[in-house]
Amino acid sequence: MKSAQEITIGSDALKQVVNTIFRAAGSNERECGLLADHLVEANLKGHDSHGVGMIPAYVTSLKAGELMLNTAPTVLRDTGGALVLDGGLGLGQSIAYDAMELGIQRTRETGSAIIALRNCHHIGRIGHWAEQCARQGFVSVHFVNVVSEPVVAPFGGKLPKLVTNPVAIGIPRAEVEPVIVDFATSKLAHGKIRVAYNKGVSVPDGTLIDSEGRPTNDPAAMFEPPTGAILPFGEHKGWALAFACEALAGALTGGLAMKGPVTQKAIVNNMFSIIISPEAMGTQASYLSELEDFVRWVQLPAKGEVPTVLLPGDPERTTKAKRLAKGIPVDANSWAHIIASGVSLGVLEAELSALIA
């Protein structure tokens, strides 16, 4: 396959692009800011699947009446230890931010909180919410299900029955950046396959099957009919975690689990989050001490060798430093789709092009 040409855009300029498009869509300044920060941060950390390339999908949902702007989460139930929230199909990057702020405040008061967030438009990179909690010194665990066109086959199956159902865990450390565990339960996130398709490059072995259930490396298998499916990571293990996401995020929150074909344009997320204060548990000192002892142990290299063991979140921090210095690569196809989305909302192409000049 021939790779599509890339352009390189500075992070501040890319945030201006997001702000410009969503101001035209009708978002207020706060919502534009939260969205721009989230999408560009995903790009900075190398997760282009959840970055500005999502703009066209969001605009499509908006035009279909399936994305509500300037919406706050509604508290449906408050048990003290748990909050059940409805996102009202609001913009996920602002709804989930507010949901986590409610959870953080409750954790400060009581030592822990469960946040059951349902019926929310796409909430983006889930590690972002683990980072939000970790900045306050709180451990957090997040299970998410996705109600959208099914693209992932369960282990042992050939037909797509679910979506990429991510899991994230935030683990704060003492005076250094937190460990952030964040992954889709599929072999690759659907957005990463979209990026590969737009770039015209293959995906790794063991990622996809075609419509006949045969292995393929061609990302077109997910975007050109007849479509195939993404496989779960780790075979039965990824499938088991994906199932847990449907049970906890989809069903337990009072939201929807996947149970058939989906015709809506919106990507709907439900998230089940647990937030814990080590200080309130009385284990803060031992938690931080034991964690650092463990990190030193696992990163200790064999005699005469250089350290090679990375912690979850380290690759993202390295990529962010490089992209802050050199800019964020955006493939030409994705950029064209972003421009078209802005134009459809009344933004001049010349205005968007000028922002990145």
In which residue are the tokens 């997910």 written?
A: 222
CB neighbour list of residue 59: distance below 8 Å, 6 or more residues apart: 21, 25, 341, 344, 345
Phi, psi dihedral angles at 68 (to 5 degrees): -105, 125
Residue 304: predicted pLDDT: 86
Residue 4: predicted pLDDT: 57
d(CA 114, CA 85): 11
**What is the reported pTM?**
0.94
Residue 2: predicted pLDDT: 37
| 88-112 residue pLDDT tens | 999 999 999 999 999 999 999 999 9
Residue 303: predicted pLDDT: 87
Helix (H) / strand (E) element for 191: namely: helix 190-199
Phi, psi dihedral angles at 176 (to 5 degrees): -135, 170
d(CA 62, CA 68): 7
| 209-225 residue pLDDT tens | 999 999 999 999 999 99
On the question of pLDDT at 263 being above 90, the answer is: no
Torsion, CA 257, CA 260, CA 265, CA 266, rounded to 10: 0
DSSP label at residue 134: H
On the question of pLDDT at 298 being above 60, the answer is: yes
Residue pair 114/274 in contact by the 8 Å Cβ criterion: yes
272-300 average pLDDT score: 98
> So where are the chain's domains?
8-183+235-281+289-355, 187-231
Residue 1: predicted pLDDT: 33
Buried b (16+ CB within 10 A) or exposed e, 269-294: bbbbbbbbbbeeeeeeeebbeebeee
On the question of pLDDT at 3 being above 50, the answer is: no
- 187-231 belongs to CATH 3.40.50.970: no
* Topology classification of domain 8-183+235-281+289-355: Ribosomal Protein S8; Chain: A, domain 1 (3.30.1370)
Residue 357: predicted pLDDT: 86
Residue 299: predicted pLDDT: 96
266-294 average pLDDT score: 98
259-267 average pLDDT score: 91
Residue 340: predicted pLDDT: 98
| 44-101 residue pLDDT tens | 999 999 999 999 999 999 999 999 999 999 999 999 999 999 999 999 999 999 999 9
Mean pLDDT of the chain: 96
